[in-house]
Amino acid sequence: MIKRTLYFSNPAYLNLKDRQLQIDLPHLKTLGTEESIKLVPIEDIGVIILDNQQITITHASIAALLENKVAVITCDKSHHPTGMLLPLDGHDTQSERFRYQIDASLPLKKQLWQQTVQAKILNQAAVLFERGIACENMIHWAKAVRSGDPDNYEGRAAAYYWRNVFPKKLDFFRGRDGDPPNNLLNYGYAILRAIVARALVSSGLLPTLGIHHRNKYNAYCLADDIMEPYRPFIDKIVLKIIDNGENFLELNTAIKSQLLSIASIDVSFEKGTSPLMVGLQYTTASLAKCYEGTIRKINYPIIKDFDAKRIGYLKSTDDTQISYAAEKTTKYESKKSTDEPELPF
């Protein structure tokens, strides 16, 4: 079942009643109780965004939400996500999975990062392809990515992608503090990061210990790793907003609603299609199995199924035994680690 994303931009009082989240909206009291008080089953919720400084939530509500693996996101006065609450106990065999994750070898993590970068570049190429922009070089780069991405094809692809994906009239430059539509991308990525972190915890993994990101100040290194191939799905929503001629200079309620829909959009895998929030469970569950050694391929979504023979991606990541010999004989350059919601009530 698809979990709901609840977004609160107005003053609200949230408390627990009969295992349901009771939502009291003062600004709707003049319309009567039926409009101002709502009940939502806790088990139906996946993510909650608290985006108003006059929201009150009871401790019982927080405890019940975390018990049901709900990600609770808080926003600052500028309406940007600033914090996140996640459950400590997310899986039945969590201790065992922590151990597998901690003991993961460097060669394994490098190969997992190779798959991640390949999937990200291919999805970026698919976004360009859908917009009629040349992407053969992106496909070539995806094929050329080696274990650990020592040649930094991720960076090359990103430079080309951001230079071409938006209309030329925007003169777009990607940066967290850059001009719009960077504000839309930042907001969308923050929501996506929370959904990824929730999925990782539900699979019994530590969102902090990454396979590539390793900034000591970053509490969500693994979430930042796994969200990479999912970023283009946010990009597509932002591009649609721009193509529709909407005013993207400010994050208004209408734009936030579209970005918050990321959890329920359909994403395609090799064996079928599912909502993104459900698909992320496939991805994080496959990652846990990679750590255990039972499989060696992360199950990432694909936007467009380019010719596998031409790309070499599927062939290079088939379920065969990992070759560690190549890892021992290949030198890798050191690189700096990089760090970079359903309708509102």
Q: Is the per-residue pLDDT at 341 higher than 70?
A: no
Beta pairing partners, 5: 47
103 with 236, same domain?
Answer: yes
Taken in order 204, 209, 213, 216, is the CA torsion positive or negative? positive
Average pLDDT over residues 284-305: 96
189 with 250, same domain?
Answer: yes
Task: Determine how many CB atoms are found less than 10 A away from the CB of residue 274.
Answer: 17
Q: Taking all residues of the chain, what is their mean pLDDT, rounded to a whole number?
A: 88
The answer to whether residue 245 sits within a structural domain is yes
The answer to whether residue 253 sits within a structural domain is yes
76 with 105, same domain?
Answer: no
- Extract the tokens encoding 93: 């065999």
Average pLDDT over residues 13-23: 96
Please indicate whether residue 91 or residue 223 has the higher confidence score (pLDDT): 223
Q: What is the pLDDT of residue 170?
A: 93
22 with 145, same domain?
Answer: no
187 with 257, same domain?
Answer: yes
Task: Report the number of distinct structural domains present in the chain.
Answer: 2
79 with 121, same domain?
Answer: no
Q: Which of 62, 85, 108 is the last residue of a domain?
A: 85
Task: Determine how many CB atoms are found less than 10 A away from the CB of residue 320.
Answer: 8
Q: Is the per-residue pLDDT at 49 higher than 90?
A: yes
What is the percent of the chain where pLDDT is above 90?
77
The answer to whether residue 337 sits within a structural domain is no
Q: Is the per-residue pLDDT at 261 higher than 80?
A: yes
Q: What is the CATH number of the domain that holds 274?
A: 1.20.120.920
Q: 3-state class of 333 per DSSP? A: coil
Q: Is the per-residue pLDDT at 315 higher than 90?
A: no
Average pLDDT over residues 10-22: 96
pTM for this structure?
A: 0.83
The answer to whether residue 108 sits within a structural domain is yes
The answer to whether residue 343 sits within a structural domain is no
DSSP H or E stretch at residue 268: strand 266-269
The answer to whether residue 281 sits within a structural domain is yes
Q: What Å distances lie between residue 40 and 88, 136, 341, CA to CA? A: 23, 47, 16
Q: What Å distances lie between residue 186 and 44, 177, 196, 243, 252, CA to CA? A: 27, 9, 15, 19, 14
Q: Rounded to an integer, what distance in angstroms lies between the CA atom of residue 131 and that of residue 282? A: 28
Q: What is the pLDDT of residue 91?
A: 73
Average pLDDT over residues 179-200: 95
219 with 284, same domain?
Answer: yes
The answer to whether residue 282 sits within a structural domain is yes
The answer to whether residue 57 sits within a structural domain is yes
Q: What is the CATH number of the domain that holds 8?
A: 3.100.10.20
Q: Rounded to an integer, what distance in angstroms lies between the CA atom of residue 254 and that of residue 100? A: 43
Q: What is the pLDDT of residue 79?
A: 86
248 with 115, same domain?
Answer: yes
205 with 289, same domain?
Answer: yes
- Give the pLDDT band (50/70/90) at residue 105: very high
Residue labelled with tokens 């390793």? 214
Q: What is the pLDDT of residue 249?
A: 92
- Give the pLDDT band (50/70/90) at residue 10: very high
Q: Which residues constitute the domain of residue 231?
A: 94-329
Mode of pairing for the β-strands spanning 45-50 and 4-8: parallel
Calculate the dihedral angle through the C-alpha atoms of 194, 197, 198, 203, rounding to the nearest 10 degrees. 160
Q: What is the pLDDT of residue 87?
A: 85
Q: Which of 55, 85, 115 is the last residue of a domain?
A: 85
Q: Is the per-residue pLDDT at 258 higher than 90?
A: yes
- Give the pLDDT band (50/70/90) at residue 94: confident
313 with 172, same domain?
Answer: yes
Q: What is the pLDDT of residue 129?
A: 97
150 with 42, same domain?
Answer: no
Please indicate whether residue 334 or residue 139 has the higher confidence score (pLDDT): 139
78 with 132, same domain?
Answer: no
Q: Is the per-residue pLDDT at 256 higher than 70?
A: yes
Q: What Å distances lie between residue 28 and 155, 222, 289, CA to CA? A: 49, 41, 48
Q: What is the pLDDT of residue 86?
A: 87
Q: Is the per-residue pLDDT at 243 higher than 70?
A: yes
Q: What is the pLDDT of residue 326?
A: 31
Q: Is the per-residue pLDDT at 266 higher than 50?
A: yes
